[in-house]
Amino acid sequence: MDQDVKTIRVGVMRTGVVLAAGFAVQSAAAQDAAVSLPGIVVSSVGLDWEEAFVLPASVSVVDLDEFGVPPGNLGGVTVGVPGLLARERQNQAQDTQLSIRGFGSRATFGVRGLRLYVDGIPATMPDGQGQIAHFPLFAGDRIEVLRGPFSALYGNSSGGVVHWFTSDGAASLRGRMQALAGSYGSRGYAASLSGGGSDFGYHAAISRSDSDGFREHSAARREVATFTLRKLLGEAGRLALHVNRFDSPFAQDPLGLTRAEAQASPRAATSVARAYATRKSVRQDQLGVVYDHAISPQSSLRAMAYAGHREIEQFLGVPRAAQNAPTSAGGVVDLDASYAGGDLRWSWHRGGAGQPFGLSAGVAFDTLRQQRRGFENFLGDTLGVRGALRRDERNTARNFDPYLQATWNMAERWSLLAGVRHSRVRYLSRDQYVTGLNPDDSGSADYTQTTPVAGLSFAPRADTRFYLSFGRGFETPTLNELGYRADGAAGLAFDLLPARSRHGELGFKWRAGAARVEAAVFRADTRDELAVARNLGGRSSFRNVGRARREGLELATSLPLGASWRWQLAYTRLAARFRDTFPICATAGCASPNQAVAAGTRIPGTVRDQFASRLDWYRGEWNAALQLVAVGDVKVNDSGSQRAPGYAISQLEFGRRWTSRAGAGLAFARIDNLFDRRYIGSVIVNEGNARYYEPGPDRTLSVGVRWDWGSGD
């Protein structure tokens, strides 16, 4: 057994003793006195009248206002969510690596296998490819994370759901300004303004961050602007307008390192990255409208519509020699995408005494239109510039998904939640770059799947829930994966099947006042798992590789320890393995599979053990927090021949508040990687040149100030 895994398990055993004692004390107190049960109504299951605690599902709600020190990134705010792994790559040309219970772990860029939303608006496209770069951290209010079988209610690529919500408007004029600076030239500025009246509210926020980067050739800039307007329309209507703009004019890409390079010089960039000036620029504008109408005290109608436009230019590190193949797409990606969609849902709920019943029915539809062009990344002897055209195609992906959900409190202590969704996903590609040696890759593909899910909940007491849930899910190939056939022939990869999965979960929830404990065991069996088939002639193709299984357990707790202390823990044990033997291409340029992956091999990118503990202290104007994160080793390729070792790092935070007639201030400081450990923070799964490793930063310091002002309530 690896030493890092032993360390994690010892820590969990010690923690379990404290947890058991705390649970016993709180449980005894709960039997002798009335329990105040806080309710958090969640939107991520589509039942606006139900709170997270009573649902037969694993739902975590992260309140962003609870952090004494403003969080630095998405990984920092979700570290206490079991089952979710967010790995910051120290490379803003690529998104945070996000996976839930092993789904999404093999994504080499962006986020796939999960559904992402901001204020109800999808950040995942119909083909299952998503991105989180535009999530407005400064303007955030809360995050909801849904895991397990009920994720399937979101259709394609629903291995889990991450739903981000921005702040509402205030009843009176309020403002906030924030500035911070840190190691490696990181600096950021942000401001927000909110206000409103009796029938409307608004919230506007802008932020900008710059960094020279921990690694060489990793400087970046990001700008995010959001505007939310909520307006009451008469006595029954409510309209919400959401505007989001994301601009990353440049983000250098240092690329991955080999194991030897990462050990010798973790801050280095590859020579290819410097030679070809690998980089990425992104710009996105998005508009969404949500309208809620109360038809009666029991029924309501919700309509959502959105549209957006996204432009990407990315310079890759593909050597010019590799672009000599007539089928190569070059080394520059130029992507122009427009997307739109909507969701129409009717809900009915009968409350009161007896056996309340609720019903929700709707339809969701989304479309993506993109023009994808590829160019050589050289012009003559000059590298890192746009050269000759090598790819030009127009792609469309769309889905149409009717769905139905019902909840029934069928007895005093028993309740049932069930749902079904029928998804149809259609792809269409028109190849506009056809030569004598580059065949026409036009084509279309259709996928349909019905995904039922059901969960049963038992409440022996008001503060306790046991639940059991089952469901089915599916994951289609993305447009990128569908683009090229494994046999090298023209057209789309028509032989690719969607990965279909069966999910099961048994869970427990308990709460008393501000204390809570949640635990779950789960299993997801997948058939027709997708993996890389070969890399040849500048093209990557994919294949279905048979069965896979992801199973494990999750534990999360939050316990108040007196008036000034709060302790949180999250632990995940995950066994994610291929269940069938399948052939792969073990080297770049491989024309046919030349190595077998044995059944039982761990799925690359998945972590076996993941542990997080956070201790918060509040006393008057002062606050502090100590956080420990431990992550087990991770395999980096399908064969499992190489791995990134596990690690444990700590974080320390301090904050000091003060008030005056003009407003309230906060000064804060954070030390990441407190003990200056060397570690691999993220990996690039199946990287063709064995540059799998992206080192994490050494000890870093950031300091900042925030000022809040308002005209009073």
What confidence tens digit (pLDDT) does each residue in 538-565 have?
A: 567 788 999 999 999 999 999 999 889 9
Beta strands in 376-479 (DSSP E): 378-379, 382-383, 389-408, 414-431, 443-461, 464-475
Determine which of 31-35, 45-49, 554-558 has the lowest per-residue pLDDT on average: 31-35
What's the confidence (pLDDT) of residue 296? 92
Is pLDDT above 50 for 59?
yes
Q: What whole-number distance in Å separates Cα of residue 577 and Cα of residue 507?
A: 23
Q: What whole-number distance in Å separates Cα of residue 402 and Cα of residue 271?
A: 50
Give 689's pLDDT tier (boundaries 50, 70, 90): confident
DSSP reduced 3-state for 82: coil
The token pair at 30 is: 């709960």
DSSP reduced 3-state for 58: strand
Q: DSSP letter for 355, please.
A: -
CATH domain 3-710 topology: Maltoporin; Chain A (2.40.170)
Amino acid 605 reads G
CA angle 316, 321, 323 (to 5 degrees): 55
Please give the C-alpha separations between residue 220 and each of 94, 162, 189, 335, 529, in angstroms, as whole numbers: 11, 25, 14, 20, 35
Is pLDDT above 80 for 699?
yes
CB atoms within 10 A of CB 502: 15
668 HSE (CA, 13 A, CB side): 23
User: Mean pLDDT: which of 74-88, 448-462, 682-696 is highest?
Assistant: 448-462
Q: How far apart are the first and last CA of the chain?
A: 58
What confidence tens digit (pLDDT) does each residue in 387-422 have?
A: 999 999 999 999 999 999 999 988 889 999 999 999
What confidence tens digit (pLDDT) does each residue in 460-518 have?
A: 999 999 999 999 999 999 988 887 777 767 777 878 999 999 999 999 999 999 899 99
Q: Which residue has the higher pLDDT, 169 or 709?
A: 709
- Region 662-671 average pLDDT: 95
Give 242's pLDDT tier (boundaries 50, 70, 90): very high
Contact (CB, 8 A) for 149 and 504:
yes
Contact (CB, 8 A) for 99 and 606:
yes
Q: What whole-number distance in Å separates Cα of residue 395 and Cα of residue 484?
A: 13
DSSP reduced 3-state for 264: helix
Q: What whole-number distance in Å separates Cα of residue 385 and Cα of residue 394?
A: 23
Q: Which helix (H) or strand (E) holds 222?
A: strand 220-233
What confidence tens digit (pLDDT) does each residue in 324-340 have?
A: 888 888 999 999 999 99
591 HSE (CA, 13 A, CB side): 2
Contact (CB, 8 A) for 493 and 481:
yes
Contact (CB, 8 A) for 339 and 304:
no
Q: Which residue has the higher pLDDT, 450 or 436?
A: 450
